[in-house]
Structure 1
Amino acid sequence: MHDLKSVCVYCGSSTGHDPAFVAAADALGVALAEAGITLVYGGGSLGLMGRIAHTVLSSGGNVIGVIPQFLHDREVMLRDVSELIITEDMHERKRIMFERADGFVALPGGIGTLEEVVEMMTWSQLGQHEKPIVLANIADFWAPLNDLIVHMSASGFIRPGWDVSYDVVDDIAEVIPTLTSRQAALHADRSPREAMLRRL
């Protein structure tokens, strides 16, 4: 039995051009519902966001939508979620999504999706959480980001002991097993950066 009770999924408010993106959102939604894992997401009704939420709900799962007031006022939220949280701004939205999730998954998306998952990577790197992060690399969507992080490390901007903790999977079927195995690993021995943080 895993300790993964909820997963925050970051993804686009559009569906993108590749049908594989929609298929991935559907598959992940079914997998979360069947595993009894609550979906935490940005509360929208459009694009991959709306797709995965609808799929979780139609598959008998639970969905927590977190949406800022200005988007709620535009009526782009999904009203049928199990729990809808309306926040004052984007900062509160991201904080609540972080607090309500045991792990994070990034499906394909735009600048907002990129910003959200990179922030979770940064917080992990700085020792602010021990929650697993998975990039669902559907049709190689996240390959450029992965290459950039490798380039940053090779260029000396990610120092040894301060590696970015995340996993990349190419198949949606790998997402939940990867989250659970990484969750266990993150609770094992900490890397040298924690000892360094304690000395600061």
Structure 2
Amino acid sequence: MCSHYEAVNKPERLKQAFQVAMPEGAKADVWPGYTGLFIRRPKEPPQEEGVAPWREAMVGSFGLIPHWAKDTTVCKRTYNARSETVATKPSYRDAWRLGRRCIIPAEAFYEPDWRSGRAVPTRIARSDGQPMGIAGIWTGWRAPDGTIIRSMSMLTVNADEHPLMRNFHRQEDEKRMVVILEETDYDSWLDERNAEPRTLLKQFDPARLTASV
């Protein structure tokens, strides 16, 4: 499970990797409740030169805030959604049903390595140096003052047998990892007409990841 990640924070790198313009207000170092970036299908095509008209970068809280939440504190518990239950769990099912899928651009994410008997924060990134496009879901929540607050959650899959990701978290815990999408799958994931998005929810090749302390 991922509660801490480095967002892509350079506009030129974001545009090159994801063909979107950098919005204002996102943090580079992101924890639950912090404002991060996510990419979705836009309601209206962006007009900026050099960006894809079918993608839009937004800012939102890391940790999904469902429409029925009384306040934003729920985001401390909803930053990761299990792919096995995302369609049925109350916190996530409306976003999934409505096809509100997104991509969360990240340079790296962190997991605790407990093999020494204590938690050692470990940075996990793509070995080719390219940003990650992490599969997510997003939604909007209306605050008491009428403001719409957007939020997102990363999707995870089981990683008990993953050669790299099985090394993280406590020994007795189930091993999980975020879904890192292939670049060729970005548009398919974002397309609400895709009737089989679950086929994209899978482990990422361990040979293409690197871990460092």
Q: Same fold (TM over 0.5)?
A: no
TM-score by length of 1: 0.31
TM-score by length of 2: 0.29
From the two aligned structures, give the one with the greater helix fraction. Answer: 1
